[in-house]
Structure 1
Amino acid sequence: MKMERVLEILQSEKDIPVHYKGVPIWIEGVDKNSCLATIQARGTHDESRVLSIDGLEEI
């Protein structure tokens, strides 16, 4: 996913479905300089993970 779209999703009031490797996730934040996103799997209380935005897919 491109950085511009990640930022749009973060700023949106709508619930925009995003997946990482087929798993629905929340984007908690993004680091523009490193192109890394902090994510958490939806519906879980798993710890947050940091990963490249390249692996994010809008569904």
Structure 2
Amino acid sequence: MDVKRAKAIYDSKDTIAVTLEGDPVWIEHVDEANGMATVQVGSNPGNTQTVRVDRLEE
């Protein structure tokens, strides 16, 4: 995924399925300047990771 698509998903009112290495994630923040995204893994709000957006798949 590229940064523009990650930002579009984050800004969307729709629920769009995104995965990180096969695990479902929610995008919580997109750092467009650095190509990074903070994601919540699964349904646990405490389980967040900051990853390169190119590791995310739609």
Aligned partner of 1:36 in structure 2 is 36
1:7-58 deviation per Cα after TM superposition (whole angstroms, max 9, x unaligned) = 1101110000000000000000011111010001122233311010010000
Gaps of 5+ in 2: none
- TM-score, normalised via structure 1 length: 0.89
Aligned partner of 1:50 in structure 2 is 50
Q: Which amino acid aligns with 1:54?
A: D
- TM-score, normalised via structure 2 length: 0.90
Between Structure 1 and Structure 2, how many residues are aligned?
Answer: 58
How much identity, in percent, do the aligned residues show? 34
Gaps of 5+ in 1: none
Aligned partner of 1:23 in structure 2 is 23
